[in-house]
Amino acid sequence: MHVSRVVFAALAWLFVGLVVLQVFYAGMGLLGGAGMRQHVDFGYFVSGVPLLVLIAAGAARAGQLALYSAGLLVITFVQTALPLLRDDLPFVAALHPVNALAIFWLGLFIARRATTLARQRVEETTEPVQARPTAT
């Protein structure tokens, strides 16, 4: 259980890091003269990571955090779909950056909570080990 919670926290932080990198690629596309291809391709890769976060949350029995992870998966999926609406529903497509903000915020929230959860397990598992020498 402890290992799965550490993995959950690690994956959540990995996702936050990838989101930051993805935002940088957006900046490179818009102001860096690199074009948006890298941002688009990397976006499809990043969008798969919340599924791993959700699976890890389930394995870690993270309770409510698993629900938040499911929400993260949904809004990340929506994120990849939004630019496709630019011709038919441009005002909806325009929510792409706002949704990116929501993804970043929710990812950060999950990562911080998952870290707290993993630390709690560390304290619980190390306490009996520390107590053993005095008991024997």
Partner 1 sequence: MDGTGAAPLAQRCFFIVAWLLVGCLIVQFFLVGLDLFEAIGESELHRDFAYVYGWLTPILVLLATVAGLPRRVLLLTVALLVLYAIQTYLPTIADTLPRIAALHAINALLVFWLAVQVARSVPWIPEPGGTAGR
- Which residues of the shown chain bind partner 1 in the complex (CB under 8 A)? 20, 23-24, 26-28, 30-34, 83, 86, 90-91, 93-98, 100-101, 104, 108
Integer angstrom CA distances of residue 19 from 32, 128, 136: 18, 38, 50
Closest approach, Cβ 100 to partner 1, in A, equals 8
Looking at residue 32, the DSSP 8-state letter turns out to be: S
Closest approach, Cβ 36 to partner 1, in A, equals 9
| Choice between 50 and 107, CB closer to partner 1 | 107
Q: Per DSSP, which regions of the chain are E strands?
A: none
Is residue 21 a contact partner of residue 123, using CB atoms and an 8 Å limit?
Answer: no
Closest approach, Cβ 27 to partner 1, in A, equals 3
Closest approach, Cβ 6 to partner 1, in A, equals 25
Is residue 4 a contact partner of residue 59, using CB atoms and an 8 Å limit?
Answer: yes
- First-to-last CA distance in the chain? 27
| Choice between 24 and 71, CB closer to partner 1 | 24
| Choice between 42 and 104, CB closer to partner 1 | 104
